[in-house]
Amino acid sequence: MKKFKFLSLFLVLALVLAACSNSNSSSGEGGDSGGSNDGGEGKLDIFSWWTGAGEEDGLNALIDLFKEKHPDVDVENAAVAGGAGTNAKAVLASRMQGDDPPATFQVHGGAELNEGWVAAGKMEPLNDLYEENGWNDKFPEDLIDMVSKDGDIYSVPVDIHRGNVLWYNTKVFEENGVEVPTTFDEFFAAADKLKAAGVTPLALGDKEPWTATQIFENVLLGQLGPDDYKKLFNGELSFTDPKVKESAEIFKKMLSYINEDHSSRNWQDASQLVANGEAAMNIMGDWAKGYFVNDLDLKVKEDFGWTETPGTDGMFMIITDTFGLPKGVSNPDDVKKFLTVLGSVEGQDVFNPLKGSIPARVDADKSKYDAYGQETMEDFKDASLAPSLAHGSAAAEGFLTKVNQAVNIFVTQQNVDQFIDSLDQASAELK
């Protein structure tokens, strides 16, 4: 009997111990994945949300290039699926807060980096890496500003996407005798003509509300110009400004030309409407080009064309993916090796043609890009840059979430005063 008692006690103790040691070892592993072996042998996990067709190919090509140059470093593609990185950002936030940062991670340049991870004190400055590689004059100054806070540079941009692009179906435009619009007046004239002909003038898929926010930010940019647009987000210009209200009125008018089932579609579904001629135009970042070309087999310029959104000629709504060095990784030298490849002409030219973006460097090899890419690279050199709000570059995620909510309500209710009110209230989030 006694034996049995001891046995059962022992069993319980064993269970408790097992539970404890289990949790110990798992937290130990957590530390490891950040790479606990120093001396270049720790695993280099590259965290991103690049799991879509072209972007995954680009990332893999980049990793292959890196392996070629540094065969001794163990690289892991730690991508998390999900459009616009919504799931990935949640995973990243919990890893960062648990002091288990990935070796390097994808982050949009601008507020998402500066007001997010840099402000939280989670990033290492990379000024020495820039100097070592002579990058300070290889990236445009405006771009370096977007990844810097208080004079320190915190990440390396790998690609550039343009947000202020109006895509159109060339056949629908020709059939209805519509000219490519460059101002809002021309846009609405064209839209009326198309609507009369029974074509949906503007395709929208706002199942995820950022697509509608993206139209609004482009209207804001067109009405305010890049300088005043940027002032909105540093508090110098109030959202109650008459020009903002005017923009909201224009946005509202644009919403009267959209497809009825917009809330059941995502941006790809909306692009499809343009591709098959049910709708004539679509306002979307230039990742839509990759979708048109790779997924829908359309030909650049032949099947679809593009122009800047109304009133934004010479402006560039910029979305840039960058990678930085988080604090607390134990293989910073390996990470820097990776960032060096990422920032090199070779690295940018292997990645961007596959992803369908343009390189962040100004000295990349143009011949590797298609007609759209070459034209955009040319524009990028001279255009004045404006950070995208819808993609977290203009303001912190907290503000963006509230703007998305206000936009979602506005698309249905179309109450301009209420919309301006909510934007103004949300702007209290901007420090």
Interaction site with another protein (CB under 8 A): 1, 4-5, 8-9, 11-12, 15-16, 19, 86, 89-90, 93, 96-97, 116-117, 119-121, 206-209, 260-264, 396-398, 400-402, 405, 408-409, 411-413
Sequence-separated contacts (24+) of 408-414 with Cβ below 8 Å: 408/206, 408/209, 408/212, 410/248, 410/251, 410/252, 411/206, 411/209, 411/212, 411/255, 411/262, 411/263, 414/252, 414/255
Give the separation between CA 269 and CA 264, rounded to whole angstroms.
9
What's the length of the chain?
431
The single-letter code of the amino acid at 142 is: D
Give the CA radius of gyration of the chain. 24
H or E stretch at 107: strand 104-108
Q: How far is the CB of 183 from another protein (least distance, A)?
A: 29
Compare residues 374 and 405 and give the one whose CB is closer to another protein. Answer: 405
Give the separation between CA 34 and CA 248, rounded to whole angstroms.
46
Q: How far is the CB of 401 from another protein (least distance, A)?
A: 3
Compare residues 108 and 361 and give the one whose CB is closer to another protein. Answer: 108
Q: How far is the CB of 407 from another protein (least distance, A)?
A: 11
**Is 165 within 8 Å of 157 (Cβ atoms)?**
no
Compare residues 39 and 198 and give the one whose CB is closer to another protein. Answer: 198
64 to 58, 60, 142: CA distances (angstroms): 10, 6, 30
**Sign of the four-CA dihedral 239, 243, 249, 255:** negative
Q: How far is the CB of 145 from another protein (least distance, A)?
A: 21
Q: How far is the CB of 284 from another protein (least distance, A)?
A: 18
Give the separation between CA 337 and CA 270, rounded to whole angstroms.
40
Q: How far is the CB of 423 from another protein (least distance, A)?
A: 13
Compare residues 11 and 371 and give the one whose CB is closer to another protein. Answer: 11
Compare residues 144 and 283 and give the one whose CB is closer to another protein. Answer: 283
Q: How far is the CB of 236 from another protein (least distance, A)?
A: 22
Compare residues 52 and 392 and give the one whose CB is closer to another protein. Answer: 392
How many C-beta atoms lie closer than 10 Å to residue 402's C-beta? 18
Compare residues 8 and 136 and give the one whose CB is closer to another protein. Answer: 8
Give the separation between CA 223 and CA 240, rounded to whole angstroms.
14
Q: How far is the CB of 397 from another protein (least distance, A)?
A: 6
Bridge partners, 386 (sequence order): 317
**Sign of the four-CA dihedral 312, 272, 160, 327:** positive
Longest dimension (CA), the chain: 97
Compare residues 254 and 411 and give the one whose CB is closer to another protein. Answer: 411
Compare residues 120 and 196 and give the one whose CB is closer to another protein. Answer: 120
258 to 175, 249, 255, 340, 397: CA distances (angstroms): 20, 15, 5, 45, 27
Q: How far is the CB of 56 from another protein (least distance, A)?
A: 22
**Close Cβ partners of 145 (under 8 Å, ≥ 6 residues apart):** none
